[in-house]
Amino acid sequence: MAKGVEVTTGPLGQGLANAVGMAIAAQRLQALYGSDKVDYHTYCFVGDGCLMEGISHEAGALAPKLIQSGLTIIWDDNGISIDGQIDPWFEQDVLSRFKSYGFKVIENVDGHDFAQIRQALDTAKAADKPCFIQMKTVIGKGCIEIEGSEKAHGQPLSPAQIAAMREHLSWPYEPFDIPDALKAQWDMTEKAESYNKSFVLPGLEDAVPALLQWLDGQEDQALATRQLSSQVLQVLKNEIKHLVGGSADLAASNLTYLSPNEIMNNHQYGAQNIAYGVREFGMFGIANGLALSGLLPFVATFLTFVDYGRNALRMSALMKQRVVYILTHDSIGLGEDGPTHQPVEHLAMIRATPNIQLWRPCNLQEVVLAWVSALQFEGPTVIALSRQKIDKVPRGDNKLVAQGAYYLKNIPDAKATILATGSEVPIALAVSEKLKQKGLGINVVSVPCLEKLSRSEVGKMLNNRAQQFVIEAGSRLGWEAWAPTDQIFSVNEFGLSAPAKAIYQHFGLDADKITDVIETKLK
């Protein structure tokens, strides 16, 4: 968002995960284009608070499995956080932790001694593994009244304290006045211009027509949308060499392996798959670093587990980074795993977050157009996919489907309209047929992307809220703008452990029950 700002870290620990992603990207890009084109080294500063956050363990443990060299983490070891001396609440041996991960560790560098700093950085840059440097520092150095205390952490300095610190440090320059000699050492303009002229990362535009052409040649199948997504991924893999991604130990369930199933772990940078292990938060944070470095990352887990990585998803949105979140098992339809795994509030939570587009497709066409939208959107895209098989749904016009909402049935003088998403679209179509037999014409609108509904052609035509019904196997929150509460067929409590069909019936989401309710309402 501004020159010289590589990444918006915000919440502690995420910068470390971002840096791991940046370093992975460097090695993948070197494999694609050569080290003469991509030669950057990633440096990351962390504080004590960053190392307390769980994401530092997730990203730190994974880093040496994926990074051969090119990553230096610098620990500002000052022993202070906002609440004071950290000894009572911080681990005793950070260095052993990073040694156990597989880092080269450089200990006890005086963070105020330029010669020691230089020597440590040179050693780290030459290392054949990621490097972790402990730099011992004094917080608030030079401000005699408060140095070494938590008061230096966030308390504004008085003019008198600032003046005393300047005198103590022999610093005559005005605020924001950078000495010319220092500025010259950091002037990368000439190198950057030369780099930009000789090396331009490819765009994603060519993948769109290829993907649509592939779609035209495919027959529709009654499959789970996670299976349809897997087919699309194999097409994209061949079209976008910057596509990399993986799952949090659920690739066999998310169906996200890019063929062949080779993984980048253990420094195989010709591969496009990343095995993240059970590390949702770390995975999401690493993906932000990959996106910031010019790759197109996708990450995958069950929709309910987005809770683990929610804040990194929010940072994707805040930074407007193109990360694709493939979140499967998107409803009570996953069945016997029960309420711990069945998402209820998650679609509403994601939709409530600014600058995220969420697609919940019902067929191959909608899956493809979700990806087309993701390739064109400046920000993260969530694609929510079913575990269970979905009956065939007829295709619409590509341009209308791309709007995020379109008519599957548009009957003159219809009595009502049903809006539905994902696995509930076939239910809506079945209800429409049952009501047709009772003499009631019912329109059906598929809404794969609710955020786009109001701007779509069909959305502009839906002007009678009282005659509209909604079917979605998740929280009703967000749908009240389109139908009265008692006309929204949804799930507003935690799920149950039972086969998918039984759970849908329990929550009143089967065609017979919905038909009865709508018939009663209309009569």
What does the block give as tokens for 344?
């209820």
Q: Are 301 and 289 in contact (CB under 8 A)?
A: no
**Strands of the sheet with 488-489, listed across from one edge:** 406-409, 442-446, 416-420, 468-471, 488-489
Strand ranges of the sheet holding 381-384, from the earlier edge strand across to the other edge:
273-275, 243-247, 296-302, 324-328, 381-384, 357-359
Separate counts of helices (H) and strands (E) for the chain: 21, 17
Alpha helices, H only, 264-337: 280-292, 306-319
The single residue of 147, 174, 239, 280 carrying the catalytic annotation is 280
Q: Measured between alpha carbons, how far is 454 from 479 in angstroms, rounded to an integer?
A: 12
d(CA 443, CA 461): 12
Cβ atoms of 247 and 276 within 8 Å: the answer is yes
Is 280 annotated as catalytic? yes
Q: How many Cβ atoms are within 10 Å of 226's Cβ, its own excluded?
A: 24
Angle at CA 350, nearest 5°, toward 345 and 356? Answer: 170
Contact (CB, 8 A) for 317 and 375: no
Among all chains, which residue has been given the structure tokens 């790759």? 295
Q: How far apart are CA 472 and CA 331, in angstroms?
A: 9
Q: So which residues are the catalytic ones?
A: 280
